Structure 1
Amino acid sequence: MASIGWVLLLFLAHLHTLLSTSIAHHAIGGNLTHHPVPFLCHPDQAKALLQLKKSFSFSRSTTRLSSWRNGSDCCLWEGVACDVSSGYVTVLDLNNRGLYSHGLDPALFNLRSLRRLDPSMNDIGGNIPPGFERFAFLTHLNLSNLGLYGEIPIGISKLVSLFSLDLSSHLDNQYICDPGPNNYIGAKYLYKSSSLDTLVANLSNLRELYLDSVDLSCSGEEWGIALARSVPFLEVLSLAYCGLHAPIHKSLSRFGSLIVVNLQGNIFMAPGLFPVFFMDLINLTTLQLPSANLEGSFPPRSFQSKNLRVLDLSDNPYLSGHFPDFSDTSSLEILRLERTNFSYARPMSSSNFKSLKNLSLDGNLSVDFLSSFGGLGSLCQLDLALVDSVSELGSIFSWIGHHKSLTSLKLFGCNFSGITPTLLVSNFKTLKSLRMVSCKLPRLVLHSVGNLVGLQTLEMTGCTTYGSMPSSIGNLTNLRNLCINHCGFLGPMPAAIGKLTNLRNMYINDFGFSGPIPDAIGNLTNLNAITIIRDPGDQVSGSSIPYAIGQLSELEWLVLQHCKFSGSIPTSIGNLTQLMMLDLSENSLSGEIPSSIFNLSVLHYLDLSSNKLSGPIQGFDNKVNSQLETVRLRNNTLSGEIPPSIFSLPVLRILSLSDNQLSGPIQYDNTASQLKEVDLGYNALSGSIPEAIFQISSLEHIDVSSNNLTGSVDLSHFSRLTELTSLYLSHNKLHVTDDAADNPLAGVTKLGLASCNITRFPRLFMDLNLIWFLDLSCNKISGDIPNWIWASWRNSIVYLNLSDNMLTGMQLTSDVLPFANPLQVLDLSFNILSGRIHMPNLSADILNYSNNKFSSILPNWAFYLSETRYFSVSKNNINGHVPLSICSNSSWLQVLDLSYNNFSGSIPACLIENVPLMVLNLRENHFEEMLPSNITTRCALQTIHLHGNKIVGKLPRGLSNCSCLEVVDFGGNQIVDTFPSWLRGLPELSVLILRSNQLYGTIGDIVEDAESDECFPSLQIIDLSSNNFSGNLKPEWFKLLKSMMEEFNSPGKIITHDISSFATFYHDFTEITYKGTYVTFRNILTTLTAIDFSNNRLEGTIPETFGRLVSLLMMNMSHNSFTGKIPAQLGSMADLESLDLSCNQLSGEIPQELTDLTFLGVLNLSNNDLVGEIPQANQFSTFNSSSFEGNAGLCGPPLSKSPCGATPNAGNIYKSSRHVDVALFLFVGLGFGIGFAAAIVAKWGRVGRWFTATGRAWRT
């Protein structure tokens, strides 16, 4: 973007030596060409240039700088010009030569006579180096789109002769719809400047300044003043997408020579009025202010410039007024006003828009207004929005058809209902590009698009469509770009896509597509880019990736996300030798990673995360994979050691291998690495953290948490990592110390040091002024929380976890925690804190004070829950009532856990009736009175625990409206009611605990209801023990409990709630009587099935239909009045582990079929009227006499006091109940089964998932 000054400079130099040189400006696309002349080149200059060439790789065979040969005159080399008197190089123009390297070679800085330096539009990675101050004569510097990153070196600000400076970065727009992951193209901001004022302070000769996408967010409120003061002769100002915060300052009015102004994309600019002074710049040709947060009324005056060619005010929705006025419209080429609030009620004052090529408007458009523009004979591109009137749209389409030069049309928010296919085709036949966004597209209209055979680009984004994609798309054989984005197409992709053989770019992000990708995609051999993304929530397994995809030899970009692909990755992908981007994440791919992928020599970005890939990671080659910048393989089942070669990749910046099964040491010794992010968490890595990691100055993020790393780590080791912002060392076997005299973590914002054997708060924490995430849980910190924590971090902290320590106090004089920002998480659980609970003054998303010794809480504690979703004070000693203010101040509350305290009084009705609450746990308190009953269908409850209170009255019938209910526990109260058959329709109800109340009547009457075909479809635990139920059990009722039948019971998964953000905080649980003991089961598995009807007054026979419940693990019918024989069908309950039929009036012999229960670990048939010999096969030989005592007619082992045929003296045996809180797993049966799986880990936690997957394996 330089001026013609450098051309004149070269012309005079070559004229002096009578050389004939043709120099073409790089903006026109030419190269520097020379005729043979005597050697002028200084030998040192040739040496530096050859060294520079040696550092390059070449992506194109046509640009290998073949003229750069030793023994020839470097002044005649491609892109080089010299001073004729000295032989020193003055111009080096390598723009867009297809060069690739790992950084700028230092040899460049030996060319100290350079006046023009332009290596732009190449792929030079690494940090922008220092040394530019050596170019004292430089007038033009262009480092744009070079791939360099980092802080702009201070040396550039010392180039006082600079006329043009270009450090801009532009996204590659070759991939329609989606620019791709930021990590592929690098960070959003490649260059950054801490102070624009400092950068330009000495550049008073500057005429052109291009800093697009340079991070200027720290430039403060006076960036405009700084420019006006330092560069008064500026003609071109381009600061697009720079993160500017302050509005456009009036000081820019001093730039009377401004020709081009581009400030687009600074979306964080403070709102401001349109800068009217821009209308007075008579030389202005380009004004681009989209997304600049402009508001208010547009000035009702004319632009004074008669040469204005570009005016772009789009994406300023609060900018209003009439259509802009111009003193002369004849030169206007681009006019963009979409997504503004301009009025188009009156026609144009001028119709001389003869040069207009690009027009973009939205709002209440009419064909009369468009006609007032005149002929628009040059119009090539037209964007129209929000034309909802079908009649007006038809007229506008006819107006469009009169503009024969129009090739590109974009329509936003238009309703095509009523538009005939003929009208569409006849008026759009000249189009090469058609983009439709948020439009209503009837089926016939979609079919007719297939008749626009001249189309080269077709985009449909956010449109309302009907049915499948029409096969007529195959008619568009000239199509180069296809984008289908969130349009709701259903069914498979049509095989007709295989006819689009000229297609270059295909982007399909549509949740409705299903089925395989057609093999015909292999016909699209001209494709450069494919992106296919489907519904991430779709659980339907997909097909495999077509092997034919390996035929697309021109492919550079391949993204197949959320497509539910299964099977292995096809080895044919290794044929895609031009591939730079490969993303197959979020699928179900299995097997090993094909070695052919590691042979893709130009690959920049590799993401295979969140699949089911296994086996070792193949060795990377630092020569073959020399361009690889990002490797993401997280969340698979990869095993073995991390290959050391992966750390030697020369430009690797992001490495993510977390959530696998990798083991062994971290073998890393590359101190010259450019790594920015290393994520190795949640593996089984061992050994110490390599010393070399502490030398990588570019590192910003380190995560090695949840491994088996050992050794001592002093935080001073991180002192050289000046860019470090995130450090996670949690849950290893490390001993973290802090002997540093200074603060090596001054820039850290996220710090995870859980389970690091820390015994006190590190001293350096006093200076962590930027910290917002801190996890010190599971350490050995004792004593008080120091008061400097609340003072030092009040302005930054939003996540603070101090749980699982030995903290006793908080050193606070106030009951309110003085945080300056709302918290995400405050977790003080599992300590020894006492006294009153301190509440944060600005609320928090998650508050956890559970498992302490707190004795009180602020009377108005609900006032501090205005934005809280999770609140727990479980297992403390808190007295008092729940304030009614919780109904008005806790509208976001989803989990409320007050269990195991001394709360009393009534339960506020809103806690059960309110919409957002998902989990209500009030168990083991002293709540009284009746439960609220006004529960509507808006109920969101998933779990309700009221066990162990003093609730009276009836069960609220409105609970049947809580369609998401999974766990109901009202046990241990004083409820008087009948069996809640009205809960039968709840589709998710899994646990129903009503024991120890005063319930009466019969169980199972719902079979008489005509609507009972589907009842309790998910029920797996039902406990009605210790009530007053009577009568017979209905055999038909047990036929309906499908979740306890093998063919319906899913394999062991944890019952989960839709509260995943609280995964590590909330533990759901239940209690079941097991062998006379209450057992607490935490994280209820879907394989845990139990029925407990004990201690009632049930009578009659035990239904034979119990035998259908083949997945039942525990059955307790003790202490009733059952008669008759033990059903032989119980022997079909193959998973049964505990059977208690004691204290009834059962008679007859023990069925031999019960010996088939090979997992049976607990059996109690005592105190009945059973007779005959006790079976001895399988499990029965392991049970002791207590299982059979109290049956006068039984004989044989293990009853030793009387042989079969004698009359024994039997006595009743009674064992009192006791309570045991089971930790981890309860193993019973001496190898015959695992008993009941019970875990105390987090419901969605990593260990919980392991227990779930392996629980059944333990039993075999």
Structure 2
Amino acid sequence: MAKPSFLLSFMFALLFATSGVILSAKYSNITNDQSALLALKSHITHDPHNLLATNWSTSTSVCNWIGVTCGSRHHRVVALNLSSMDLTGTIPSQLGNLSFLGWLDISHNNFHGSISIQLAYLHRLKYLEFGSNNFDGEIPSWFGYFAKLQQLYLYVNNFDGVIPSTLGNLSKLEALSLGENQISGRIPNSLFKCKELKFLSLYSNSLEGSIPAEIGNFTLLESLVLESNYLKGEIPMSIGNMNFLQLLVLDTNNLTGEIPPTIGNLASLQSLFLYHNKLTGEIPHVIGNLTSLKVLYLMDNKLTGEIPSIIGNLTFLEIIDLENNNLTGRIPTPPPSSQWYGAPNNNLIGEIPSSICNCTSLTGISFYENNLEGTIPKCIGNLSSSLMVVRLGNNNFHGQIPENFAKGCMLKGFSINNNELEGSLPRSLGNCKGLNLLNVGNNNLNDTFPSWLGNLDQLQVLILRSNRFYGQIESFDITVSLTKLRIIDLSHNNFSGYLPTFFFEHMHAIRGEYGKKVDPNYMRERNITKVATEVNYASGLSITAKGLETEFQILLSIWTVIDLSSNRFSGEIPKILGDLHLLIVLNLSHNCLIGPIPSSLGNLSELESLDLSSNKLEGRIPTELKNLGFLEVLNLSQNNLKGPIPQGKQFDTFTSDSYMGNLDLCGLPLSKNCGTDEETPAKFDRDDDDGDELNWKFSILMGYGCGLVLGMSMAYIVFTTGKPWWLIRIVERVRQRFAKR
């Protein structure tokens, strides 16, 4: 009986010993994890929210620290997530001691420096995200030894060099994101060994060369993003092998050739971005096979031929943008699900299809700069509850503007300039409370000033130029008073009466604070549809600035213009114009303005162009205009100005053309010399004071005469008496006194 008792005791002892070893190993390993994380904490130089400073303490278990997750089986750190904590610091080599770590995410912080080599010991790592930091140097080649790695995100950093060929060893890799770095070179062929890859994003780098034909090996790929590089050559035919591809982004490269017909094989494709390339040929009809397609961006290429009518059958297609190509023919029927339908800057003909009225979710139409004709569909007003942007300028539309813009109208940009439209500006546009830009310039509209515009508190750009608007702009009862207006162009109409002073009083967006700079922003609308779509309101906007007709494709909100030229405005220039401190262009030329140039215009510190030509202005050019340090263009010609032209600063850069037709002006750059008048006090500068001027000149001559007689007398005394020391001492004392001063 002794043997069994001894054996049982031995087994219990062995069990306790083994348990002790296991427990000892367990707590020893968690201690290693704690040391590694405390090393990371010591490398954090800025923790603005005190997330680690107070929580990562040895008084609490590591598994309870913020951002730390431990495994239930081994009680080791298996995940570390410190994303979006605004942390600043570097990565210590000790972090590689987290040998059970499978998930590491420190994205959207301010970590910097290179990545330590000891991270290569993280053999269990499956997910690694270092995106949106400031890491630099080359991407470590030993990333390729993370045999279990499935997702690698290094986007938005400062990595340079080439893509390591060792990444081809990551046989389990499903997602690779290296976008927005400084990576150069070619896409390595070894990368195509990653047969499990579903997401590949290499956008905004300096990659070059052609897209390898091996790209078709990614048969499981769902997203391919290679935009904003220097890739060239043709899109490979093998791209049609990606049967699961949903997102294809190849825009902003130097791709040439035709769109391959194999693109019609991508039955799962939802978004196709090929814009900003040099693609030629026609849009392939096989695009009608993409029955899942929602977004089609082909703008800024050299595509020719007609728009395939089959796109009208793509029932899920929401965005069609074919801008800036050489497309011809008619506008095909849009898909009923269309939210954005545009093909501006092409050679399209015919009318806008009436079927566009069936697109009840339409948020924007853009067909400016074509050869379209007919009338603007009346249903445009009915669609205004969803429609945000209408751009139909630079065509041949005739008839009247639709008048049925309902209450709740969502319009933000309405551009129908450079057509042959007639009638009046529909008052129902006043229902579009969010309107930012209204451009009806260069038509045949015949109306008085639309005073109801004063209720549009979001209006920033108002263009009524080159129409037949007439009458006085009376002060009207307005609720909001156009307080955000930055650009107003009423030129080349028949407006009369005094300049609308009440306009200038309420232009708070241009008044600003004297000497205070304003941050520039682009005038555009983002996310205009469910899928992100950006619209620049200024496309096709033409403004006379600095004496030249300037067309904008994109417009900064700090660009401020008042152009009331070529009308029949009378009276004096209001002094209140000097309060518009942020004004860049002021054009009041070709009117009937009288009186002096107000000196308050010298307060327009941002002014770059001033045109007051062809009026009846009189008096002197205010010397305060020398304060306009940014003034590049000045035109005061064909007025009745007189006196000397101010000298110095910007005035030294203007030619005589700026002053021609003012017969009484003098001084450079004119050939007429002002003589002594330039130094004459203002009280002698009177047209009706010729007698006083004669007396003044006679007094000067008398002074010269008396001085001459006195000087000759003194010379005679000196000559006859020798050296009159008394006179010399007086002169010496005077000279010494002035020398001390």
TM-score by length of 2: 0.78
User: Is 2:350 aligned against 1:865?
Assistant: no
Q: Once the two structures are superposed, what CA deviation does each residue of 1:280-306 show, in whole Å capped at 9, x if it has no partner?
A: xxxxxxxxxxxxxxxxxxxxxxxxxxx
Kept in 1: contact 2:136–2:157 (CA 8 A): yes
Which of these residues, 69, 72, 79, is aligned with residue 604 of structure 1? 79
User: Is 2:669 aligned against 1:1194?
Assistant: no
Kept in 2: contact 1:580–1:604 (CA 8 A): no
Counterpart in the other structure of 2:697: none
- How many angstroms does 1:971 deviate by? 0.8
Counterpart in the other structure of 1:1029: 495
Q: Once the two structures are superposed, what CA deviation does each residue of 1:132-182 show, in whole Å capped at 9, x if it has no partner?
A: xxxxxxxxxxxxxxxxxxxxxxxxxxxxxxxxxxxxxxxxxxxxxxxxxxx
Counterpart in the other structure of 1:1055: 523
- How many angstroms does 1:1175 deviate by? 1.8
For residues 390 and 321 of structure 2, the distance between their equivalents in structure 1, rounded to whole angstroms, comes to: 15
For residues 649 and 1046 of structure 1, the distance between their equivalents in structure 2, rounded to whole angstroms, comes to: 57
Counterpart in the other structure of 1:945: 415
User: Is 2:515 aligned against 1:1042?
Assistant: no
Which of these residues, 184, 209, 233, is aligned with residue 710 of structure 1? 184
Counterpart in the other structure of 2:288: 818
**Counterpart residue identity of residue 371, structure 2:** N
Counterpart in the other structure of 1:37: 10
SS at match of 1:1163: strand
Which of these residues, 244, 247, 267, is aligned with residue 773 of structure 1? 247
SS at match of 2:381: helix
Q: Once the two structures are superposed, what CA deviation does each residue of 1:523-552 show, in whole Å capped at 9, x if it has no partner?
A: xxxxxxxxxxxxxxxxxxxxxxxxxxxxxx
User: Is 2:172 aligned against 1:698?
Assistant: yes
Instruction: Assess, with a 3 A threshold, how the Cα gap between structure 1 residues 620 and 1034 changes in structure 2: closer, same or farther.
Output: farther
Q: Once the two structures are superposed, what CA deviation does each residue of 1:1143-1163 show, in whole Å capped at 9, x if it has no partner?
A: 222111111222222222222
For residues 870 and 620 of structure 1, the distance between their equivalents in structure 2, rounded to whole angstroms, comes to: 51
Counterpart in the other structure of 1:797: 269
User: Is 2:368 aligned against 1:899?
Assistant: yes
For residues 40 and 638 of structure 1, the distance between their equivalents in structure 2, rounded to whole angstroms, comes to: 51
Q: Once the two structures are superposed, what CA deviation does each residue of 1:734-776 show, in whole Å capped at 9, x if it has no partner?
A: 2354666795312211111233423022243232121111122
Kept in 2: contact 1:824–1:845 (CA 8 A): yes
- How many angstroms does 1:1138 deviate by? 1.9
Kept in 2: contact 1:577–1:602 (CA 8 A): no
Instruction: Assess, with a 3 A threshold, how the Cα gap between structure 1 residues 633 and 1142 changes in structure 2: closer, same or farther.
Output: farther
Counterpart in the other structure of 1:292: none
**Counterpart residue identity of residue 447, structure 2:** D
Q: Which moved more, 1:933-942 or 1:705-714?
A: 705-714
Q: Once the two structures are superposed, what CA deviation does each residue of 1:1075-1113 show, in whole Å capped at 9, x if it has no partner?
A: 221223343333222111111111111111111111212
For residues 655 and 88 of structure 2, the distance between their equivalents in structure 1, rounded to whole angstroms, comes to: 48
- How many angstroms does 1:1015 deviate by? 0.6
Instruction: Assess, with a 3 A threshold, how the Cα gap between structure 1 residues 640 and 857 changes in structure 2: closer, same or farther.
Output: farther
**Counterpart residue identity of residue 67, structure 1:** T
Kept in 2: contact 1:780–1:805 (CA 8 A): yes
Instruction: Assess, with a 3 A threshold, how the Cα gap between structure 1 residues 642 and 829 changes in structure 2: closer, same or farther.
Output: farther
- How many angstroms does 1:614 deviate by? 8.2
Instruction: Assess, with a 3 A threshold, how the Cα gap between structure 1 residues 1054 and 806 changes in structure 2: closer, same or farther.
Output: closer
- How many angstroms does 1:582 deviate by? 4.5
SS at match of 1:669: helix
SS at match of 1:757: strand
- How many angstroms does 1:877 deviate by? 0.5
**Counterpart residue identity of residue 629, structure 2:** T
Counterpart in the other structure of 2:226: 753
Counterparts of 1:998-1009 in structure 2, within 5 Å, are 998-1003=468-473, 1005-1006=475-476, 1009=477
- How many angstroms does 1:788 deviate by? 2.2
Instruction: Assess, with a 3 A threshold, how the Cα gap between structure 1 residues 743 and 1046 changes in structure 2: closer, same or farther.
Output: closer
Which of these residues, 344, 348, 352, is aligned with residue 882 of structure 1? 352
Instruction: Assess, with a 3 A threshold, how the Cα gap between structure 1 residues 697 and 1076 changes in structure 2: closer, same or farther.
Output: same
Counterparts of 1:644-793 in structure 2, within 5 Å, are 649=122, 651-659=124-132, 662-673=135-146, 674-714=148-188, 716-737=189-210, 743-754=216-227, 755-790=229-264, 792-793=265-266
Instruction: Assess, with a 3 A threshold, how the Cα gap between structure 1 residues 570 and 671 changes in structure 2: closer, same or farther.
Output: closer
SS at match of 2:94: coil
**Counterpart residue identity of residue 203, structure 2:** S
SS at match of 2:257: strand
Which of these residues, 58, 62, 72, is aligned with residue 578 of structure 1? 62
Counterpart in the other structure of 2:718: none
- How many angstroms does 1:713 deviate by? 1.9
SS at match of 1:621: helix
Counterpart in the other structure of 1:912: 381
For residues 11 and 48 of structure 2, the distance between their equivalents in structure 1, rounded to whole angstroms, comes to: 66
- How many angstroms does 1:981 deviate by? 1.9
SS at match of 2:428: helix
% of aligned pairs identical?
A: 32
Q: Structure with the greater relative contact order (CA < 8 A, sep ≥ 6): 1 or 2?
A: 2
SS at match of 1:67: helix
SS at match of 1:975: coil
Counterpart in the other structure of 1:832: 302
Q: Once the two structures are superposed, what CA deviation does each residue of 1:777-804 show, in whole Å capped at 9, x if it has no partner?
A: 23343333232221x21x2111112223
For residues 636 and 1083 of structure 1, the distance between their equivalents in structure 2, rounded to whole angstroms, comes to: 32
Instruction: Assess, with a 3 A threshold, how the Cα gap between structure 1 residues 961 and 740 changes in structure 2: closer, same or farther.
Output: closer
Instruction: Assess, with a 3 A threshold, how the Cα gap between structure 1 residues 1151 and 878 changes in structure 2: closer, same or farther.
Output: same
User: Is 2:575 aligned against 1:1104?
Assistant: yes
Counterpart in the other structure of 2:321: 848
For residues 943 and 876 of structure 1, the distance between their equivalents in structure 2, rounded to whole angstroms, comes to: 21
Instruction: Assess, with a 3 A threshold, how the Cα gap between structure 1 residues 740 and 1147 changes in structure 2: closer, same or farther.
Output: closer
SS at match of 2:665: strand
Q: Once the two structures are superposed, what CA deviation does each residue of 1:864-895 show, in whole Å capped at 9, x if it has no partner?
A: 3211211111111111111222112x111112
Q: Once the two structures are superposed, what CA deviation does each residue of 1:438-482 show, in whole Å capped at 9, x if it has no partner?
A: xxxxxxxxxxxxxxxxxxxxxxxxxxxxxxxxxxxxxxxxxxxxx
User: Is 2:597 aligned against 1:1126?
Assistant: yes
For residues 599 and 668 of structure 2, the distance between their equivalents in structure 1, rounded to whole angstroms, comes to: 21
SS at match of 2:95: coil
Instruction: Assess, with a 3 A threshold, how the Cα gap between structure 1 residues 660 and 946 changes in structure 2: closer, same or farther.
Output: farther
Which of these residues, 647, 651, 660, is aligned with residue 1180 of structure 1? 651
Kept in 2: contact 1:653–1:677 (CA 8 A): yes
Counterpart in the other structure of 1:134: none
TM-score by length of 1: 0.47
Q: Once the two structures are superposed, what CA deviation does each residue of 1:1021-1078 show, in whole Å capped at 9, x if it has no partner?
A: 1111111111101433311111112149963223342535565653321332112212
Q: Once the two structures are superposed, what CA deviation does each residue of 1:671-718 show, in whole Å capped at 9, x if it has no partner?
A: 33243333333444321112232222332211222332111224x322
For residues 1049 and 984 of structure 1, the distance between their equivalents in structure 2, rounded to whole angstroms, comes to: 27
User: Is 2:634 aligned against 1:1163?
Assistant: yes
Number of residue pairs the alignment of both structures matches: 642
Kept in 1: contact 2:282–2:304 (CA 8 A): no
Kept in 2: contact 1:1004–1:1033 (CA 8 A): no
Kept in 2: contact 1:580–1:605 (CA 8 A): no
**Counterpart residue identity of residue 776, structure 1:** L
Counterpart in the other structure of 1:923: 393
CA RMSD of aligned residues (A): 3.6
- How many angstroms does 1:572 deviate by? 3.2
For residues 684 and 856 of structure 1, the distance between their equivalents in structure 2, rounded to whole angstroms, comes to: 47
Kept in 2: contact 1:738–1:764 (CA 8 A): no
For structure 2, which runs of at least 5 residues remain unmatched after alignment?
Answer: 31-37, 39-46, 69-75, 679-741
Kept in 1: contact 2:282–2:305 (CA 8 A): no
For residues 118 and 664 of structure 2, the distance between their equivalents in structure 1, rounded to whole angstroms, comes to: 76
- How many angstroms does 1:948 deviate by? 0.7
Counterpart in the other structure of 1:516: none
